[in-house]
Structure 1
Amino acid sequence: MAPLVLLDLDGTLMDSAPGITASVAHAFTALGLPVPDAATLRSFVGPPITDSLPAHGVPPERLAEAVGAYRAEFRATGMWDNAVFAGIPEQLARLRAAGCELAVATSKPEVFAVPIAERFGLSALVDGVFGAPLDEQATKADVIAKALAALGRTPADGPAPGLGRVLMVGDREHDVVGARAHDIGCLGVSWGYAHPGELEAAGALAVVDDVAALENAVLSLV
């Protein structure tokens, strides 16, 4: 069974912070709430928006309104204010040439993740793009379970032997935690949006600092 590498999208394959942070700022403004500072806005990249908004001052009774404002702006402009990190396409191509199966596993709703991956040329470099439902009521572990089941690594109704060699690659602690729920190790990448020491504290197997070193780091762990 070929090694399977699950790849986070935001902060791992793509620099999506500009569009996400602008859409979050728009949502706070639309609700008449103080817009968080730049560092706080950056922390919205990665986790589900339904977790981040209430964690940073949106009252529970206004969460649906805030999510609606965010998504309207994100659909209109934010999702395209995005770029693949330099060198990522080449690294993915090298991993596939080395015999790895690749898939995107992201907390971003799949209805956004799929067209983004297509628009920016990532779909042709991976074997599937898997994301959260639109209501984002799914953990990273849930998204990973969906990817594993779709790729034939485990039955859809629960864990089972036969995963083969599987590795998660991500830039935030929830990537590490979600992978661990399936007894999968996680390689952290430092060019994303984690706070200093976040990935190490979460238990990442290693942290790679340079996109050009990604292939070798992955192959050393699978």
Structure 2
Amino acid sequence: MTSPAPLVLLDLDGTLTDSAPGITASVAHAYTSLGLPVPDAATLRSFVGPPITDSFPRHGVPAERVQEAIAAYRARFAESGMWENSVFDGVPEALRELRAAGCVLAVATSKPEVFARPITERFGLAALVDGVFGAPLDESSTKADVIAAALATLGRTAGDAPMVMVGDREHDVHGAAAHGIDCLGVSWGYAGPGELAAAGAVAVVDDVAKLADAVRAQLALPAR
């Protein structure tokens, strides 16, 4: 029986797209709407990647007002923030190269899937991958849960073929590790200094132009 194709799971924010402008503006809007001090730029940037339901209480929003903050954030994000975004230079070429090498590609993001799908469609990424998987709207799932859903929908089990996660934050590494999948970190996203290495990323890629080769090496595929 033929073995399944190698699988590459891809984070979205900070890995495929530079989504910080729309996310940070929407977060700032939420704090302003609640009459709370807007965090500094570095703190706002840390909201990119992890579930928003975790980030608001971590950064000063009282527990009883978290849902109010989420509603304000989502209103601003749905109106305009989701489109204040761009694909990192070189990403489409890397995806095309990996598909040509026989890899199955799937976006696995903590962003609600109702936002992830139109974003990947608008920016031309949906046509370059085999599936887009995200969190439910309440963001109640972890990255490990999103990966589990992606594997189930694709009819895959961890270990049935070479697999790797590609992401820019520690929760990408931890979510993949929950399934016994290694994570290849990327430095052009939103991780703090040393975050990816400390989380256990098998390597960190510093240049989008080197991404496809790094994935090939991790999956033990022939070099170009």
Q: State the TM-score, normalizing by the size of structure 1.
A: 0.96
Runs of 4+ in 1 over 3 A off after TM superposition: none
Deviations 1:34-87 (A, max 9, x none): 000000000000000000001000000011110000000000010000000001
Aligned residue number for residue 194 of structure 2 = 197
Aligned residue number for residue 55 of structure 1 = 58
2:35 aligned residue (32, 37, 55): 32
1:179 aligned residue (176, 179, 203): 176
Q: Secondary structure at the match of 1:176?
A: helix
Q: Structure 1: which 5+ residue stretches go unaligned? A: 155-160
1:64 aligned residue (59, 62, 67): 67
Aligned residue number for residue 165 of structure 1 = 162
- Residue 49 of structure 1 aligns with an amino acid whose one-letter code is I
- Residue 189 of structure 2 aligns with an amino acid whose one-letter code is G
Deviations 1:193-219 (A, max 9, x none): 000100000000000000000000000
2:218 aligned residue (195, 217, 221): 221
Task: Measure the CA separation in 2 of the matches of 1:89 and 1:204.
Answer: 23
Task: Measure the CA separation in 2 of the matches of 1:164 and 1:99.
Answer: 12
1:104 aligned residue (80, 104, 107): 107
1:7 aligned residue (7, 10, 18): 10
Q: Secondary structure at the match of 2:118?
A: helix
Q: Secondary structure at the match of 1:10?
A: coil
Q: Secondary structure at the match of 2:139?
A: coil
CA RMSD of aligned residues (A): 0.7
Q: Structure 2: which 5+ residue stretches go unaligned? A: 220-224
Task: Measure the CA separation in 2 of the matches of 1:197 and 1:65.
Answer: 33
1:136 aligned residue (136, 139, 153): 139
How far did residue 91 of structure 1 move? Answer: 0.5
Task: Measure the CA separation in 1 of the matches of 2:93 and 2:78.
Answer: 28
Q: State the TM-score, normalizing by the size of structure 2.
A: 0.95
Q: Are 2:80 and 1:77 aligned?
A: yes
How far did residue 162 of structure 1 move? Answer: 5.0
- Residue 116 of structure 1 aligns with an amino acid whose one-letter code is I
